[in-house]
Amino acid sequence: MASSRWVNSAFGVHTCTRGYAWREAFAGDNVCVKPAQRTQARTDNTAAASRFLRPGG
């Protein structure tokens, strides 16, 4: 569960526990993931437009 990776700290109640970071896959995304997953989400979002099948080819 995502909320199990949140802690209440000086940064607020939805702070990721040590070793986790905000995924930031979209505005308002409040899921804490390992840094590699965050990087993958960022890479996927950057490449998203190139992954659509265009009509006719």
Q: What is the pLDDT of residue 39?
A: 95
Mean pLDDT, the chain, integer: 82
Global pTM reads: 0.67
Q: What is the pLDDT of residue 2?
A: 53
CB 29 within 8 A of CB 38: no
Work out how many domains the chain is built from and give that number: 1
The answer to whether residue 15 sits within a structural domain is yes
Helix (H) or strand (E) holding 47: helix 35-47
> In terms of residue numbers, what domain contains 15?
2-48
The answer to whether residue 56 sits within a structural domain is no
User: What would the pLDDT profile of 5-57 be if each residue is shown by its tens digit?
Assistant: 766 666 666 788 889 988 988 988 888 899 999 999 999 999 988 888 878 76
